[in-house]
Structure 1
Amino acid sequence: MTLGRRALLAAGLALPLAGAATAQAKAAWTRPAGIVPDASIALWPEGHLAVPPGLVESVVQRSDDPNASDRMLQGITRPRLDLFRPEKPNGAAVILAPGGGYRYVVVDKEGYELARWLKERGVTVYVLFYRLPGDGWPDRSNVPLADAQRAVRLVRSRAGVDGIDPARVAFGGFSAGGHVATSLLTRFDASAYAPVDAADALSARPDALAAFYPVVSMDPAIAHAVSREKLLGPDPDAARQALYSPEQQARTDMPPLFLLHAEDDDVVKVENSLRLHSAARAIGAPCEAHYFAEGGHGFGLMKTTGLPVAAWPDLYWNWLAARQIV
């Protein structure tokens, strides 16, 4: 079936489609049952962002399996939080930043799928569609961090509306979204943008933070080359490389950290997590890490069948409980 505008509106993805993206987006598919956000919340006040000329949002369906949607969002012009409200909120909030190599943001396998899993357990979930640094925005390298900081502040400002505890706000990121997360881990109080309203008086430090097979380092020896180029350009100097390498910015007051990585990841080297883990341990910052021999990259909830790494959601849940988030 063709994905119409009404269905996109229901999913918080009402987007203009153009060119090759249009053809792919019209591929036949069926949204997995139950994965529909309850609302879509703009990160920034209307008119605050000057969208780069020619930038157009598009949603592309990458899966031909009618029961396993795998969409990606490109050219993000309206950064936002897609909200999933549980029937019985337990007061916990989790913000999720899916991956995509800073070229796009994955919708389903690292966003809506985990949002559904957490929602079923009473967590209020916000899937973050952040701006992409290679899309022509000013101050490109700080654009994802600015959106992550704003997301945490905005969620806290909505505590009464959404029925959450502003002291139980966790953040999680996958792959390049893991770089968004780990940048927030170490630079939650950096001046990534000028305040725009009362929400910006609130803290952007999450109460707990998880990074799943994350891009972390900008060191060319282990960096994910595409993410590095999109974030920093083709030839960053040593100082910029260090600033945007969270393992070199570890601090004792950073949030408790959860790391997950497969050792056979051939896209983002496990050394990204190992270095950050080592940096946290060196300064005594709380960090729990899980490494699995198999799993590859980008497994999310959809690609773990038959592997020990399939246990990761329960490990993450238990960690959230130990941190008194859930």
Structure 2
Amino acid sequence: MALGRRALLTASLALPFASAAAQAAWTRPAGVVPNASIALWPDDHIKPPSGLVEQVVQRGDDPNASDRMLQGITRPRLDIFRPAKPNGAAVILAPGGGYRYVVIDKEGYELARWLRDRGVTVYVLFYRLPGDGWTNGADVPLADAQRAVRLVRRRAKIDRIDPARVVFGGFSAGGQVAASLLTRFDARVYAPIDAADALSARPDALAAIYPVVSMDPAIAHAVSREKLIGANPGVTREQLHSPERNVRADQPPLWLLHAEDDDVVKIANSVRLRNAARRIGAPCEAHFFERGGHGFGLMKTAGLPVAIWPELLWNWLAFHKII
């Protein structure tokens, strides 16, 4: 995708909080550039932990498949991808990264482009990381997710979206953010600060893709678990942050995707969440594939049956009248 000088300049101006080197990484021609970037919180509302530095890291050198991550997030935000002809649907994406960083391209910008080209307005969420030293660190990803849903609804007229068709999707550790929002969308994890916070944080549908879910040590992703709740959290804390143990009848419709051969995040995470939803009669659709491993996103599915997953998600969104 060729980018003109004006597009690159616009992208760099949208990221005033990044270093010059980070801005250069964000605007490399091989990547996909958002139309805008908005902060989740007013500048004086959150104070980053001392010494925390935001940094973009390039994980590969393939010019045709940019694979970047953002670590040390100091200013959580939404990067917006606007379609030429909006269909009114909005999707918020929370990429993964084991709660150590947030993936930019593979689970963010690439799917954002795919959805945008089909008329969906997409918001890629760069959420705070619980192990970075924030106060109440275990709840900061959920606070950012709640705030994102509310802010998107508040911006409905500006972005030409329907506030009753807002979807939240997450990958891997971002799937844990999503699953937490599924069951704790109304938990008071931050004090209201403006009119947006009077709006509901319950998504109208929610997708979790090879998600970290449970904090049960038997199936938990060990790194995500320690970053989120610590090495010795206690039973109560473990249960609070295990969405499969907190399902509720009024949770949004849920869509799950996982590969049986995932050797990073055990498929038992998705199976437990699906079974818990079914036990209480909450709507849930799950797709489990023989092969795919972990972290396949859109870029690592060639030649595998799992490559069809975006179309399956699209059809499910249509069934629920999101698109």
Q: Which residue does the alignment assign to 2:208? A: 211
Secondary structure, in 3 states, of the residue corresponding to 1:134? helix
Quick one: which of 172, 193, 205 aligns to 1:175?
172
Mapping 1:75-94, distance limit 5 Å? 75-94=72-91
Secondary structure, in 3 states, of the residue corresponding to 1:199? helix
Q: Which residue does the alignment assign to 1:45? A: 42
Q: Contact (CA 8 Å) 2:15, 2:23: kept in 1 or not? A: no
Q: Which residue does the alignment assign to 2:304? A: 307
What stretches of structure 2 of length at least 5 have no aligned partner?
1-6
Q: Contact (CA 8 Å) 1:16, 1:56: kept in 2 or not? A: no
Structure 1 residue 31: deviation in Å?
Answer: 3.5
CA distance in 2, matches of 1:268, 1:32: 29
CA distance in 1, matches of 2:314, 2:222: 31
Q: Which amino acid aligns with 1:212?
A: I
1:301-321: CA deviations, max 9, x gaps?
A: 000000000000000000000
CA distance in 1, matches of 2:11, 2:181: 30
Q: Which residue does the alignment assign to 1:154? A: 151
Q: Which amino acid aligns with 1:54?
A: G
1:244-263: CA deviations, max 9, x gaps?
A: 00000000000000000000
Structure 1 residue 26: deviation in Å?
Answer: 7.9
CA distance in 2, matches of 1:162, 1:65: 33
Q: 1:9 to 1:73 in 2, by over 3 A?
A: farther
Q: Contact (CA 8 Å) 1:262, 1:293: kept in 2 or not? A: yes
Q: Contact (CA 8 Å) 1:15, 1:58: kept in 2 or not? A: no
Q: Which residue does the alignment assign to 1:245? A: 242
Q: TM-score under structure 2 normalisation?
A: 0.94
Q: Contact (CA 8 Å) 1:17, 1:59: kept in 2 or not? A: no
Q: Which residue does the alignment assign to 1:3? A: none
Secondary structure, in 3 states, of the residue corresponding to 1:149? helix
Mapping 1:228-243, distance limit 5 Å? 228-243=225-240
Asked whether 1:98 is paired with 2:99, we answer: no
1:67-101: CA deviations, max 9, x gaps?
A: 11000000000100000000000000000000000
Asked whether 1:63 is paired with 2:60, we answer: yes
Secondary structure, in 3 states, of the residue corresponding to 1:259? strand
Q: Which residue does the alignment assign to 1:135? A: 132
Q: 1:212 to 1:13 in 2, by over 3 A?
A: farther
Q: Which amino acid aligns with 1:190?
A: A
Q: 1:189 to 1:121 in 2, by over 3 A?
A: same
What stretches of structure 1 of length at least 5 have no aligned partner?
1-5
CA distance in 2, matches of 1:26, 1:45: 25
Q: Which residue does the alignment assign to 2:293? A: 296
Secondary structure, in 3 states, of the residue corresponding to 1:94? strand
CA distance in 1, matches of 2:41, 2:90: 20
Q: Which residue does the alignment assign to 1:31? A: 29
Asked whether 1:10 is paired with 2:7, we answer: no
Q: 1:13 to 1:227 in 2, by over 3 A?
A: farther
Asked whether 1:283 is paired with 2:284, we answer: no
Q: 1:7 to 1:62 in 2, by over 3 A?
A: farther
Q: What's the RMSD between the two structures over aligned residues?
A: 1.9
Q: Which residue does the alignment assign to 1:191? A: 188
Secondary structure, in 3 states, of the residue corresponding to 1:261? strand
Q: Contact (CA 8 Å) 1:31, 1:67: kept in 2 or not? A: no
Secondary structure, in 3 states, of the residue corresponding to 2:303? coil
1:263-302: CA deviations, max 9, x gaps?
A: 0000000000000000000000000000000000000000
Quick one: which of 253, 256, 259 aligns to 1:256?
253
User: How many residues were matched structurally?
Assistant: 316
CA distance in 1, matches of 2:29, 2:302: 20
Q: Which amino acid aligns with 2:228?
A: L
Q: Which amino acid aligns with 1:219?
A: D
Secondary structure, in 3 states, of the residue corresponding to 2:128? coil
